[in-house]
């Protein structure tokens, strides 16, 4: 159990019946939820109405809140320096209203769908007892991480660099659980459903219901997880149960997981179609309108890296050497090389690069950087994946929703 997250779900229904609602009628909407009345009063009248801070208790105060209804919270690069992302530093990307009361002892997961041989229901305890446990460090990154740099601007939460993390997840293989229900030969995709509700409060609408092709679902590293870093998953990150698909848009890793459907076609849940988590199948001119049928679903994320030490803005004395370090990851692939530049990409120096803790975990890198004299410098970080593809130095191909910005990370340094 954890404190009630904000509840926008009942406000609209409540307000319709409320005598107070008439005060807002001349403005066409309602004033009660609008902030025209000071926050403390709203909090008293509608507990949690404006993004109840209790629901992100346990998160590091250094995280940046992009949106509080629903919570969208990112982690500054220098707070991602740990090899294994701690619970207080893993970003939050919510689409709807998380479940208010979670009781792991009564939580169930249903496996169904037209390509399941039989529908099966597991309690959380049955999942833990019936299947082999696996613990893996897996990189999850929001498809929209880096959106803030696109121009013309793309609508949505304006993520900079912090919608990524690599925590250690414990659970069972999705494959083992799907196989226990039986997978028909015509299966092509899985889709998930979670217990978060649509922001409008409409119980008939799902906030998000995405999935992955069978090939990804059946990988050794695809988990149904109940623990993160050896503890319960934080409430806003999906407690008590979620999917984790390392290397793919984090929106595929459904939170508050209650049902998985095995589909005989590409899953058609909320935010699978239209323009959501899709990019133009062919590159387009910036600012173009792209028809839905010309948009393709994002699968493996592109190669990317972060400088997690030092924090941007470091001032050094002339001659003082600088150790820089960070992480690099490459979707389904491995990172094969890492370089930094202190001259705006004109020259690149190789870094020391570690292997991943396991497949689909990010890789640690470090380097000693020298400066030729006083002045303003930027350290740029550039990863290369196992197929020889590198990060772009400028913002990559524009796309309507602003996904997949893997431009090299930059920090500012001054030598005085």
Partner 1 sequence: MHKGMVLAALCLPVHLLGNSEPGKDSSTGYQIPPGLNIVNGIHITSGLVVNEGFEVVLANCVPCHSGKLIAQNRATRDGWRNLIRWMQKTQKLWDLGDNEESILDYLAKNYAPAEGGRRAPLKDIQWYFLE
Residues lying near partner 1 in the complex (CB under 8 A): 8, 11-12, 15, 20, 23-42, 50-51, 65-69, 149, 151-153, 155-158, 199-200, 202, 310-316, 320, 322, 378, 393-395, 407, 410-412, 414
Q: In the complex with partner 1, which residue's Cβ is closer, 91 or 169?
A: 91
Q: What's the rounded Cα separation, in Å, for the pair 201 and 96?
A: 9
Burial 222-236 (b: 16+ CB within 10 A, else e): bbbbbbbbeebbbbb
- Cα 28 to chain centroid, rounded: 36
DSSP H or E segment with residue 181 = helix 174-181
* Minimum CB distance to partner 1, residue 185 (Å): 35
HEC sequence for 199-213: CCCCCCCECCCCEEE
Report in angstroms how near the CB of residue 48 gets to partner 1 at its nearest. 13
Minimum distance between the CB of residue 352 and partner 1, rounded to whole angstroms? Answer: 20
Minimal distance, residue 312 CB to partner 1, in Å: 6
User: With respect to partner 1, which residue has the nearer C-beta, 4 or 299?
Assistant: 4
**Angle 160-164-169 from CA coordinates, rounded to 5°:** 165
The nearer residue to partner 1, 244 or 379, going by C-beta atoms, is 379
Smallest gap from residue 204 Cβ to partner 1 (A): 11
Reported residue count of the chain is 416
What's the CA gap between 102 and 148, in Å, rounded? 34
For partner 1, give the closer residue by CB, 184 or 414.
Answer: 414
Query: Which lies closer to partner 1 via its Cβ, residue 178 or residue 413?
Result: 413
Nearest C-alpha neighbor of 77 from the set 180, 193, 164, 169:
164
- Cα angle 336, 337, 340 (rounded to 5 degrees) comes to 160
State which residue, 15 or 284, has the beta carbon closest to partner 1.
15
Extract the tokens encoding 345.
Answer: 């990409």
CA dist 55 and 71 (Å) reads: 9
CB 152 to partner 1: min, Å: 6
Instruction: Give least dist CB 376 to partner 1, A.
Output: 10
136 in Cβ contact with 168 (< 8 Å): yes
Looking at the Cβ atoms of 44 and 118, the one nearer to partner 1 is 44
Instruction: Output the smallest distance, CB 198 to partner 1, in A.
Output: 8
Strand partners, 62: none
Nearest-approach distance from CB 392 to partner 1, in angstroms: 10
Q: What does R_g of the chain's alpha carbons equal in angstroms?
A: 23
CA 232 to mean position of chain CA atoms: 18
Q: Which is nearer to partner 1, 42 or 163 (CB)?
A: 42
* Contact criterion met (CB below 8 Å) for 147 and 279: no
Q: Is the peptide bond before 115 cis (omega within 30 degrees of 0)?
A: no
Q: Which C-beta is closer to partner 1: that of 78 or that of 359? A: 78
């Amino acid at each position: 159990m954890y404190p009630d997250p904000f509840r926008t779900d009942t406000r609209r229904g409540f307000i319709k019946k409320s005598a107070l609602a008439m005060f807002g009628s001349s403005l066409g909407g309602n004033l009660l939820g609008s902030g025209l009345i000071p926050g403390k009063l709203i909090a008293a009248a509608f507990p949690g109405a404006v993004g109840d801070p209790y629901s992100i208790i346990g998160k590091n105060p250094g995280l940046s809140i992009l949106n509080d209804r629903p919570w969208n919270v990112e982690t500054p690069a220098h707070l991602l320096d740990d090899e294994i992302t701690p619970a207080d530093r893993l970003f939050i990307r919510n689409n709807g209203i998380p479940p208010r009361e979670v009781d792991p002892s009564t939580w169930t997961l249903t496996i169904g769908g037209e390509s399941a041989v039989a529908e099966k229901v597991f309690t959380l305890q049955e999942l833990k007892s019936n299947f082999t446990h696996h613990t893996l460090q897996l990189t999850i990154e929001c498809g929209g991480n880096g959106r803030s740099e696109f121009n013309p601007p793309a609508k949505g939460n304006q993520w900079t660099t912090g919608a990524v993390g690599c925590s250690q997840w414990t659970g069972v293989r999705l494959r083992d659980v799907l196989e226990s229900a039986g997978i028909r030969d015509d299966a092509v995709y899985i889709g998930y459903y979670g217990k978060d509700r649509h922001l409008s409060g409409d119980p008939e609408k799902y906030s998000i219901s995405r999935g992955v092709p069978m090939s990804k679902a059946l990988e050794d590293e695809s988990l149904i997880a109940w623990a993160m870093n050896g503890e319960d998953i934080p409430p806003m990150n999906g407690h008590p149960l979620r999917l984790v698909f390392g290397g793919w848009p984090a929106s595929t890793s459904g939170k508050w997981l209650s049902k998985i459907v095995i589909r005989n076609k590409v899953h058609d849940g909320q935010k699978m179609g239209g323009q959501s988590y899709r990019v133009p199948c062919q590159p387009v001119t910036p600012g173009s309108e792209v028809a839905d049928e010309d948009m393709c679903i994002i699968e493996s994320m592109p190669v990317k890296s972060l400088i997690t030490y030092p924090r941007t803005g470091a001032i050094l004395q002339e001659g003082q050497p600088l150790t820089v370090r960070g992480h690099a990851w490459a979707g389904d692939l491995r990172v094969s090389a890492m370089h930094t530049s202190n001259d705006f990409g004109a020259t690149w120096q190789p870094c020391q690069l570690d292997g991943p803790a396991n497949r689909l975990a990010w890789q640690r890198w470090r380097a000693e950087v020298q400066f030729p004299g006083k002045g303003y410098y930027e350290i740029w970080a550039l990863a290369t994946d196992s197929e020889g593809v590198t990060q772009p130095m400028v913002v990559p191909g524009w796309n309507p929703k602003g996904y997949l910005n893997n431009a090299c990370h930059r920090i500012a340094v001054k030598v005085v």
